[in-house]
Homo-oligomer: A and B are copies of this chain.
Amino acid sequence: MSTAPPEYAALAGRMAELSDLGRIHALLFWDQNTMMPPRGAAARADHSSTLELISHGKLTDPEVGRLLDALEPWAGDQDPDSDEVRLLAAVRRDHEKAVRVPAELAAQMSHAAALGQQAWQEARAASDFGRFRDALSRHIELRHRYVQCFEGAEHPYDVLLDDFEPGLTTAELRPLFATLRDALVDLVAATAGSPAQSRNHGAFSGPFEVDHQRRAVMDVIEAVGFDADGWRLDPAPHPFAQSLGPTDVRITTRYDLHDFGVAHFSALHEFGHGLYEAGIAPELARSPLGAPVSLGMHESQSRLWENVIGRSRPFCGWVLPRLREALGPALGSIDADGLYRAVNSVQRSLIRVDADETTYNLHIILRFELELALLEGTVEVDDLPAAWNEGMQRLLGVDVPDDAQGVLQDVHWGAGLIGYFPTYTLGNLIAAQLWSRALADVPDLEAQIARGEPGALREWLRDRIHRHGRKFPPRELLERVTGDSLRPEPFLEYLRAKLADAAVTPA
């Protein structure tokens, strides 16, 4: 590679600052959701929006466009897979997306997000969709204006999707989700137990003291790769992961006295996210490439640890004695096989975040269908609760008793996040595709999991996915790692095999 012209260092320097601002924003978010005293919220909103304004200014600065243009001839002569060429592509993408959106619209969207979350909170507390309808209408209206900033999209939803899963289109997603939906509806019919049965067959119903739960969680995640010198674990009402750099990873979990499964699987989930952040190559960390490449790929990492590994037979066998030591007799007399069956039980349920691995994607597919319908205008905002309730009956066979347990259950639409939900299911699909590849690449993988030694898998994940950050677009990355394109079949095969192995049949 020829020595980069001085414009490259100038651009990279600007982008390093932008990366720092993003990390600082992550700290504001983490602190707000773990540490901040309740009355700190108003000032925090000011701090966040000032930071956002400054970041937006740095990204849309015309000098960035000038530097990109000046570097184009040089980049044309370089290895197209070099960090430098890929960095320029990422900056061009980010810059051009940002400059297309007028500052006034961006401000309106950010304002509507704050108001919408508040309206949603009140509406959910009152279980009354009517109190949320205006905020949602406003979000839809603003999304239409946002979509118009981008030319050439085949479907308006493509523009929204692209913010969370770069490059994915509605035309690809629709048949993929249709296949998945039909297969899952059948699978649920064949495996779902009674809705009266408690979650995880009561294996984790305790009650367990929070101290004991925390000890159990720490013991498990430290064994699989949590490093106390570079990570933190804190409680949070809605668990999440954030990273202030590859060696400052913050994960959270939630403790439910009567369901240790919440803390256990949330911690494994967030550990998967954290491991991705921790695995970014140090030389990319303070650059536009120094972040996970998409929400779907990010979610594939969390689902891999939570579900593919965390609910596997070898892992259940390894983890049970450790849990017993930390949790004591409250765990009861369950054996590894019983645990394996319990954590893979299937149940039709109302709430997405409580859903099991099998029914979960039907919750997502409903939201995807409704988002498309709202955007296409085939469902009006006022008809959304009815469409929701109909969909829950059709896909999951459950009656929705009220809006709070129905259409108002998630914060996303309150914040104006439309096009986000599909990435959860993408995560499940990609996790299965990666797992199938890892099984082929890493000899003896399941035996290593059974011994609680996932070091070789961690290295494989780091080498194939984590270290690259945003260097390769998500679809290209998937194909580089698996040789395959995004497909639902590996997930369905994985799930069918596991449900058969665990002998999951209706109770």
- A interface residues with partner B (beta carbon < 8 Å): 16-17, 20-21, 23-24, 27-28, 31, 35-40, 42-44, 46-47, 50-51, 53-54, 228-232, 244-245, 247-249, 285-286
Q: Which 6 A-B pairs have the closest CB atoms?
A: A40-B248, A43-B245, A39-B247, A20-B50, A39-B230, A17-B50
Contact check, A40 vs B286: say whether CB atoms are below 8 A apart. no
Contact check, B40 vs A244: say whether CB atoms are below 8 A apart. yes
Tell me which residues across on chain B come within 8 A of A229, comparing CB atoms.
37-39
Question: How many copies are assembled?
Answer: 2
Tell me which residues across on chain B come within 8 A of A36, comparing CB atoms.
244, 248
Contact check, B44 vs A248: say whether CB atoms are below 8 A apart. yes
Tell me which residues across on chain B come within 8 A of A23, comparing CB atoms.
43, 47
Contact check, A285 vs B247: say whether CB atoms are below 8 A apart. no
Q: Report the separation of the CA atoms of residues A338 and B31 in the bound assembly, to the nearest whole angstrom.
A: 43
Tell me which residues across on chain B come within 8 A of A54, comparing CB atoms.
17, 54
Q: Report the separation of the CA atoms of residues A42 and B244 in the bound assembly, to the nearest whole angstrom.
A: 10
Of B21, B47, B232, B285, which one neighbours A43 at CB under 8 angstroms? B285
Distance between A42 CB and nearest chain B CB, rounded to angstroms: 7
List 12 additional contacts besides A17-B54, A24-B47, A43-B245; criterion CB under 8 Å.
A17-B53, A23-B43, A24-B24, A24-B28, A27-B31, A36-B244, A37-B229, A38-B230, A39-B229, A40-B248, A43-B248, A44-B244
Distance between A225 CB and nearest chain B CB, rounded to angstroms: 14
Q: Report the separation of the CA atoms of residues A17 and B52 in the bound assembly, to the nearest whole angstrom.
A: 11
Known contacts A17-B53, A24-B28, A27-B27; decide if A286 and B46 are in contact (CB<8 Å).
yes
Tell me which residues across on chain B come within 8 A of A249, comparing CB atoms.
37
Contact check, B42 vs A247: say whether CB atoms are below 8 A apart. yes
Closest residue on chain B to residue A38 by CB atoms: B229
Q: Report the separation of the CA atoms of residues A200 and B348 in the bound assembly, to the nearest whole angstrom.
A: 66
Closest residue on chain B to residue A25 by CB atoms: B24
Interface CB pairs A-B, < 8 A, 24: A16-B50, A17-B53, A17-B54, A21-B50, A23-B47, A24-B24, A24-B50, A24-B51, A35-B35, A36-B244, A36-B248, A37-B228, A37-B231, A37-B249, A39-B229, A39-B248, A40-B230, A40-B245, A42-B247, A43-B244, A43-B245, A43-B286, A46-B286, A47-B244
Closest residue on chain B to residue A58 by CB atoms: B54
Tell me which residues across on chain B come within 8 A of A38, comparing CB atoms.
229-230
